[in-house]
Homo-oligomer: A and B are copies of this chain.
């Protein structure tokens, strides 16, 4: 009832939400990634009404995330198996899991992703394979792609302007703080790695960015 179609939006996030459909779908995918395949397994796991589960499973089949396969002839029985597309959704489940554990499990984790060799809980980082560096808001930005239409371009350009204005305001604030030596200091701070540590920085790097760099070097 509360939804409209995001399908005509260019944003990949909106397209993903459109395709996946709804919270139940994410929980079904989570379960499928843990190896559940049968209707009664999903129903037991999710405590979901059968008609709702049927609808969600069909949505995921139509979206190409699950494949419906007959595993018994008489009576006919079907199972729902992840496709490559569905299996690839794992990254989003992992990101949700890490964030949920970090913020919404104050009593300690109930579900942990661990390194099976060490048994140690994963400390998740998002890394750019091209550079080997962790993604932060200082060195990475959202920009229009080759297929962006004029609405998307305008939108992202206004984002870039806001970003620049925020950086400029930050630099001026730092210059004012530094008094007469403001100008030289401003240039230095803009180039230096500590240019974003003031409280108003919108693009503050994640707290542990340095740690990964270290680990990356060590590997």
Contacts and interface: CB of A to CB of B under 8 A. Distances in A.
Contact of A112 (B128, B143, B216): B143
Question: Copy number in this complex?
Answer: 2
Interface stretch (A26-34, A71-79, A170-178, A185-193): A26-34
A151 B124 CA distance: 26
B149 A110 contact: yes
B10 A17 contact: no
B113 A142 contact: yes
A90 B104 CA distance: 16
A125 interface: yes
A152 B104 contact: no
A50 interface: no
B112 A123 contact: no
A129 B140 contact: no
Interface string A152-184: 100110010011001000000000000000000
A99 to B, nearest CB: 6
B110 A99 contact: no
Interface of A: 1-4, 6, 10-17, 19, 22-24, 26-27, 30, 34-35, 45, 48, 52, 85, 87-105, 107-118, 120-135, 137, 139-149, 152, 155-156, 159, 162-163, 166, 202, 204, 208, 211-213, 215-219
Given A12-B96, A16-B96, A122-B135, 14 more contacts: A12-B98, A12-B109, A16-B100, A17-B23, A88-B102, A90-B137, A108-B145, A110-B144, A111-B156, A115-B128, A115-B140, A117-B139, A118-B131, A126-B126
